[in-house]
Structure 1
């Protein structure tokens, strides 16, 4: 995206950063994804998914990926 539309990429980056700050304060907002990895949660921002683990002091971001990706293959789910 950054190569085709740098301004859109900056806006998306800001939205993802804001979502991460919100999730750090309210880690249970995201959807539980125990079918992928125990304790994993996801939260969508536009067409992207933030995967994270809730912690006592916030969250740990596992990855941010396109929502169009094959999640089962990405997380090696049988």
Structure 2
């Protein structure tokens, strides 16, 4: 599979996860050691970082899980 196709699949997986997070904002786990008030949800090799809002979620970042998380915050 070509990298363009892989990127497209990953993007679709992430986009599909966002409404699920909005419907169930507590799905992601808290990581107060890294980013208080943010939740982390894994999609493949990527992490969706988000905060819960009164009317859903706010996506803060989408990063590769191999990234150095503490240095992002």
Name the TM-score, length of structure 1 as normaliser: 0.86
Task: Name which of 32, 45, 48 aligns with 2:46.
Answer: 48
41, 45, 55: which one pairs with 1:57?
A: 55
Structure 1 unmatched ranges of 5 or more: none
* Correspondence 1:19 to 2:11: no
Structure 1 residue 73: Cα displacement: 1.1
Q: Helix, strand or coil: the match of 1:28?
A: coil
State the Cα RMSD in Å.
Answer: 1.1
Residue 66 of structure 2 aligns with which residue?
A: 68
Deviation at 1:29, TM superposition (A): 0.3
- The TM-score normalised by the length of structure 2 is 0.91
The one of 30, 33, 36 aligned to 1:32: 30
Q: In structure 1, the residue corresponding to 2:26 is in which secondary structure? A: helix
